[in-house]
């Protein structure tokens, strides 16, 4: 059996899936299987994955159409994963070649249940990455998750399969922030989640989306907050301010969302000036960008606020 099962939910990913799979095939650690769970793609995604699987039998295609990424991840893990450790990757992200080697070393510590690394944010190719996430020195807490979640994306996370099973998996009824809600349940249940301060994942930033999507993200966060409350954790004013800043920065990347960005920036400052402006450069740039957004060219906004 492979040590790693890589679960890749996919939907209309023909433009990016082969680069994602190539990132797996370039791994220094070769002890893996990839389970691509297709969610009803209407493009060439399935054809491309089948072709890749014929030349590399570690790659398998399964179908779970029309049920969304959370259901795809659950289905991939519960029904098809064989590895001791499950690693998630979205169909448009790319892994650094040393990622699985780093994970393997970390999981040798039996007290570790989940692991993540550093992310590089890119738009076209990984070489474009110029913004990188910060990996905390300490193990992840619920309070960290409710602030500026250091894991950022499920493409940057791996967990022991037995531990995933004990959580029951992702809440398939949630549309946004279902990963955050699951991570809160994972950590709240006693799992030890730790970070590796080395580059693991290249995350493709999207310029698509509408302000209504941002509102759905906010609603999903409220559900995650309710889950955290069940573990006795209430987000601080600084955590709320940090999340408003995150929404403002995300809105600044979207086409036609500067008004929403300013609304979120103001809300964050009112919640906690210290939280919003920590660090000052990040908060200050977000506020200035929100004020000037109507006058800034969209490409410049996207580049400035890519993370």
209 found inside a domain: no
46 found inside a domain: yes
Q: Within this chain, do residues 62 and 187 fall inside the same structural domain, yes or no? A: yes
Q: What local confidence, expressed as pLDDT, does residue 123 receive?
A: 78
Number of separate domains in the chain: 2
Q: What local confidence, expressed as pLDDT, does residue 307 receive?
A: 53
210 found inside a domain: no
Q: What local confidence, expressed as pLDDT, does residue 305 receive?
A: 61
Q: What local confidence, expressed as pLDDT, does residue 209 receive?
A: 43
Q: Within this chain, do residues 41 and 169 fall inside the same structural domain, yes or no? A: yes
Q: Within this chain, do residues 169 and 24 fall inside the same structural domain, yes or no? A: yes
Q: Within this chain, do residues 70 and 192 fall inside the same structural domain, yes or no? A: yes
Determine the structural domain holding residue 133 and report its residue range. Answer: 4-204
Q: Within this chain, do residues 117 and 249 fall inside the same structural domain, yes or no? A: no
Provide CB contacts within 8 A for 5, sequence distance 6+: 32, 33, 35, 76, 77, 80, 81, 82, 83, 85, 86, 87, 161
Domain boundary among 204, 228, 251: 204
Q: Which residues pair with 121 in a beta bridge?
A: 131, 203
Q: What local confidence, expressed as pLDDT, does residue 114 receive?
A: 99
Q: What local confidence, expressed as pLDDT, does residue 175 receive?
A: 80
179 found inside a domain: yes
- Tens digit of pLDDT at every position of the chain (307 positions): 999 999 999 999 999 999 999 999 999 999 999 999 999 999 999 999 999 999 999 999 999 988 889 999 999 999 999 999 999 999 999 999 999 999 999 999 999 999 999 999 887 787 877 778 889 999 999 999 998 889 999 999 999 999 999 999 999 988 889 999 999 999 999 999 999 999 999 998 765 544 457 777 878 889 999 999 999 999 999 999 998 998 888 888 765 578 888 999 999 999 999 999 988 988 998 999 889 878 777 666 556 565 5
Q: Within this chain, do residues 160 and 244 fall inside the same structural domain, yes or no? A: no
Provide CB contacts within 8 A for 33, sequence distance 6+: 2, 4, 5, 6, 58, 59, 60, 81, 82, 83
161 found inside a domain: yes
Provide CB contacts within 8 A for 185, sequence distance 6+: 167, 168, 227
Q: Within this chain, do residues 86 and 183 fall inside the same structural domain, yes or no? A: yes
Q: What local confidence, expressed as pLDDT, does residue 55 receive?
A: 96
The CATH number of whichever domain residue 68 belongs to comes to 3.90.550.10
Q: What local confidence, expressed as pLDDT, does residue 65 receive?
A: 82
Domain boundary among 164, 182, 204: 204
In order of 89, 105, 142, 176, the CA distances from 203 in angstroms are: 10, 23, 23, 18
Q: What local confidence, expressed as pLDDT, does residue 301 receive?
A: 59
Query: CA geometry: angle at 278 spanning 274 and 279, to 5°?
Result: 150
128 found inside a domain: yes
Q: Within this chain, do residues 124 and 240 fall inside the same structural domain, yes or no? A: no
8 found inside a domain: yes
């Amino acid at each position: 059996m492979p040590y790693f099962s890589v679960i890749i939910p996919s939907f209309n990913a023909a433009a990016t899936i082969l680069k994602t799979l190539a990132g797996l095939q370039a791994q220094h650690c070769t002890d893996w299987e990839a389970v691509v769970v297709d969610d009803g793609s209407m493009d060439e995604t399935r054809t491309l994955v089948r072709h890749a699987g014929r030349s590399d039998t570690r790659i398998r295609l399964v179908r779970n159409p029309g049920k969304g990424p959370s259901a795809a991840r659950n289905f991939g893990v519960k029904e098809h994963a064989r590895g001791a450790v499950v690693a998630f990757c979205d169909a448009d992200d790319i892994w650094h070649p040393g990622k699985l080697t780093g994970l393997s070393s970390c999981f040798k510590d039996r007290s570790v249940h989940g692991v993540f690394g550093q992310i590089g944010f890119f738009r076209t190719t990984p070489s474009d990455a110029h913004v990188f996430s910060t990996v905390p020195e300490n193990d992840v807490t619920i309070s960290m998750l409710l602030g500026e979640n250091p894991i950022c994306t499920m493409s940057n996370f791996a967990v022991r399969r037995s531990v995933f099973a004990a959580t029951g998996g992702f809440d398939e009824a949630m549309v946004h922030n279902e990963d955050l809600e699951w991570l809160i349940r994972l950590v709240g249940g006693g799992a030890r989640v730790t970070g590796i301060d080395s580059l693991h994942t290249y995350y493709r930033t999207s310029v698509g989306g509408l302000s209504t999507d941002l509102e759905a993200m906010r609603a999903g966060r409220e559900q995650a907050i309710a889950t955290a409350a069940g573990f006795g954790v209430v987000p601080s004013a600084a955590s709320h301010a940090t999340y408003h800043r995150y929404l403002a920065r995300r809105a600044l990347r979207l086409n036609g969302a500067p008004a929403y960005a300013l609304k979120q920036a103001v809300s964050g400052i009112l919640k906690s000036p210290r939280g919003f402006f920590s660090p000052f450069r990040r908060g200050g740039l977000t506020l200035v960008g929100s004020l000037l957004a109507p006058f800034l060219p969209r490409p410049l906004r996207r580049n400035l606020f890519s993370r």
